[in-house]
Amino acid sequence: MRLSMKSALLSTLPPSSSVLLFSSYSKFKLKSPLGIPIRALTSSSLPTTRDHDDLFDPLSLPAPQHLHKATNAIERIALRLRNLGLASTTDLADAEDDFLRREWLRPDQALFPWDKGQEEDAEEPGEQQKEMLKKKNVNASTLAEQTLVEEELRRLRTLGMSLKEKITIPKAGLTRAVLDRIHRHWSNCELVRLKFHEFLAQNMKLAHQIVEHRTRGLVIWRSGSYMWVYRGKNYQGPVESDATSMEKSEAVWWKGENMTPEEAEFNRMLDGFGPRFVEWWGTGILPVDADSLPPMVPGYKTPLRLLPAGMRPQLTNDELTNMRKLAKSLPCHFALGRNRNLQGLASAILRLWEKSLVAKIGVKRGIVNTNNELMAQELKALTGGTLLLRNKYYIVIYRGKDFVPTSVAAVIAERQELTKQVQDVEEKVRCKALDSTPSGEDESTAQAGSLAEFYVAQACWGRDISTEERERMMQEVAKAKNAKLVKKIECKLAVAQAKRLRAEKLLAKIEASLLPVGPDYDKETITDEERVMFRSVGLRMKAYLPLGIRGVFDGVIENMHLHWKHRELVKLITKQKTLAFVEDTARLLEYESGGILVAIDKVPKGFSLIYYRGKNYRRPMTLRPRNLLTKAKALQRSVVMQRHEALSQHVTELGEKIEEMKKKLGLSQDLGTKDRWNVEDHNQIDHISEFTQSEEEYSDGDDTDDRLTFCNEVPESEWLLPLPAAS
């Protein structure tokens, strides 16, 4: 019965399908749909019938499995198909290479529909474009890789791993002492290990160029702030003649013959100022060593300056920005290391200004007690130029609009001396003429415009002024001067009041989006014992949220909920000085966050606010409340509030000053209480806002410009505004 069921099953299936079915079942150790064990349905137990003689013919059976060992899943599938006889040997042999070499897509690397277009576009470029892309990814070869053989380079790098002694490059860079140490080390070993600090450690590409140029060695490896330098095959040690020739070659730009005409002209311009600073840490044209210039110059004087008529002496903001941009791209003219005795440098700067608008001075690094502020003050006093930039690296000085070249200054000084001589000659001739005049004629007629003529006219038609009248006239002059000063202060007061009004409008516009939540009367409470316990735990907490000048905004509430995710308490520290403001902030945080305020304590950093999340705390869906200000608007609100507070204080001070001055002048009795300035009344200054900018275009301009605009457009009769009430 069992054999007949096997025969019936085989008769219903095609030969290939039956073998495939049974082989797959046998692999996973499953049962057939008829419940027959798979072990009984092997090829050895199947009957040989006429319909399946070709299937079990020994000649048609595939080779044993150990003869075809597949290495991957695709080869195993191909081997299985070949064993099952589903494809002929010739057809499979033709398509075997294409089938096995095909790039099969993994499920975790499936392409999305919108990525297929990009994949096709990436495959479109030809071979030339692919080669160009490959070339871009390859790093540029170094000089050592171009010079040394690969085996030699590998040997040197292996030798460098055993190096333990290192030479530290100081802040000043590759100085002469460091170069001597490198050459002494090369006399015993062909490699040296360098360790960089400060500026060069941050730019190792620049350090690579400087080391190869100054030492004439080859950098075979660098990583981080370390570098291995090879002395070379034909190294013979440092020679004095080579050192001098090296210094001369370093005075020229590092590119040598590849200098542009502008760079060559710049290099020639520096040749006449003094010796170059050979130990310069940067590339490019070496600057002049300012320390080698004479500290004192006999007969040195501050240069003559003459401003052309109608020209503004100060630089505008745009001109200052353009000058700084111009100086940024220029190489340094001088390298300075001392703070005082800079007359030689000042003389060289004056000669440089005849060809250049600015003088750029680099501060030497690694020198003790260098002070760029003292350097800038000394140079500004000696040259009279305008300081554009000063930091610990560079000093940039502009020659000024009133600068006069030395040749022109000499001509002007000569003409001034000649004019003075002519005036002296005229004065001598005039004195001789007066001496030759007869005494009788001198007594009868007085010289026109002289003091004697005034006395004569006063005696004939004038009157004597008494002491009381003279004092009264002096008082009137003083009152007129004080009245003018009062009018000027009143103009300032009006401008300040207009600015405060703009600040109030801008503050109201910002606070329009601030809708604080009111108190929740149905709220969870805590007992006194819990409050004491929470307070002691909160004060010991190290994690806290700082509350800065922005105050309470949506990000603060979000951070509180993020703290409450891991702990029950959250501590905030605010730097507000007044306790009343701290209490208002604490209540606002309690209403917005939904927590329970535990305590407000004074700590060294400010005031600490401790909140308990509650026993029934549930995290809200939106951590940032929409009714509060954002971080940017909170900062803007803080700035506007500070501006409003400062302007209010300024207005009060000006009002008190005007009141005091008018009392001295005796004018305060004429003013009634109705006409006094009400600081809080904004209706009195509506006409001022017509002559000022809107709050959207508000910017902190110069008070002088605002005052001039206001005084020019408002009639003089409206300048005398009511005074504020005395506080």
Q: What is the pLDDT of residues 486-509, one digit of tens each?
A: 999 999 999 999 999 999 999 999
Residue 137: per-residue pLDDT = 54
pTM over 0.75: no
In this model, does residue 298 exceed pLDDT 70? yes
Helices 554-564 and 579-593 meet at what angle, rounded to 10?
Answer: 70
Q: What is the pLDDT of residues 580-626, one digit of tens each?
A: 999 999 999 999 999 999 999 999 999 999 999 999 899 999 999 99
In this model, does residue 430 exceed pLDDT 90? no
Residue 204: per-residue pLDDT = 85
Residue 9: per-residue pLDDT = 40
Q: How many CB atoms lie within 10 A of CB 599?
A: 18
In this model, does residue 120 exceed pLDDT 80? no
Query: In the block, which residue shows the tokens 């007129």?
Result: 480
| Report for 70-84, 97-111, 620-634: range of highest mean pLDDT | 620-634
Q: What CA–CA distance (Å, rounded) separates 623 from 561?
A: 7
94 contacts: CB under 8 Å, gap ≥ 6:
none
> Which stretch of DSSP H or E encloses residue 268?
helix 261-271
Residue 399: HSE in the Cβ half-sphere, 13 Å Cα cutoff: 24
Cβ neighbourhood burial of 468 (10 Å; 0-12, 13-18, 19+):
exposed
Q: How far is CA 93 from the centre of its chain?
A: 67
Residue 713: per-residue pLDDT = 42
Domain spanning 143-235: which CATH class is it, in words? alpha beta
Please report the DSSP string for 687-726 in residue order: TTGGGS--GGG-----HHHHHHHHHHHS-GGGSSPPPBPP
Q: What is the pLDDT of residues 677-686, one digit of tens each?
A: 443 343 333 4
Coil, strand or helix at 4: helix
Q: Where are the alpha helices (DSSP H) in 463-578?
A: 467-510, 528-540, 554-564
Residue 686: per-residue pLDDT = 40
The phi and psi torsions of 273 (rounded to 5 degrees) equal -95, -25
Q: What is the pLDDT of residues 457-476, one digit of tens each?
A: 878 887 778 888 888 888 88
User: For all residues of the chain together, what is the average pLDDT?
Assistant: 75
Q: What CA–CA distance (Å, rounded) separates 200 from 204?
A: 6
**Which whole number is the average pLDDT over 22-36?**
41
Range(s) of the chain covered by CATH 3.30.110.60: 143-235, 261-408, 528-628
Percent residues over pLDDT 90 in the chain: 30
Q: How many CB atoms lie within 10 A of CB 84?
A: 15
Q: What helix, strand, coil percent values describe the chain, rounded to 5?
A: 55, 10, 40
Q: How many CB atoms lie within 10 A of CB 269?
A: 15
Residue 564: per-residue pLDDT = 94
Burial 487-510 (b: 16+ CB within 10 A, else e): eeebbbbbbbbbbbbbbbbbbeeb
Please give the torsion angle defined by the CA atoms of residues 230, 236, 240 and 246, in that order, rounded to the nearest 10 degrees. -40
In this model, does residue 186 exceed pLDDT 50? yes
Sign of CA dihedral 615, 620, 626, 629: positive
Q: What is the pLDDT of residues 358-413, one digit of tens each?
A: 999 999 887 878 899 999 999 999 999 999 999 988 999 999 998 988 888 889 88
Nearest by Cα to 344 from 296, 378, 395, 287: 296
Q: What is the pLDDT of residues 528-585, one digit of tens each?
A: 999 999 999 999 999 999 999 999 999 999 999 999 999 999 999 999 989 999 999 9
Residue 596: HSE in the Cβ half-sphere, 13 Å Cα cutoff: 22
Coil, strand or helix at 190: coil
Nearest by Cα to 19 from 56, 66, 48, 64: 56
Identify the bridge partners of residue 569 per DSSP, sorted by sequence position: 612
Q: What is the pLDDT of residues 31-86, one digit of tens each?
A: 444 444 434 333 334 444 444 444 334 444 444 444 445 667 878 887 877 777 66
Query: In which band, very low, low, confident or very high, does the pLDDT at 279 lie, cut at 50, 70 and 90?
Result: confident
The phi and psi torsions of 22 (rounded to 5 degrees) equal -70, -35
Pairing of strands 545-547, 569-574: parallel
In this model, does residue 437 exceed pLDDT 70? no
CATH 3.30.110.60 fits 528-628, yes or no: yes
Residue 511 contacts residue 641 (beta carbons within 8 Å)? no
Residue 410 contacts residue 418 (beta carbons within 8 Å)? no
* Higher-confidence position of 724 and 178: 178
CATH 3.30.110.60 fits 261-408, yes or no: yes
87 contacts: CB under 8 Å, gap ≥ 6:
81
> Which stretch of DSSP H or E encloses residue 383?
helix 372-383
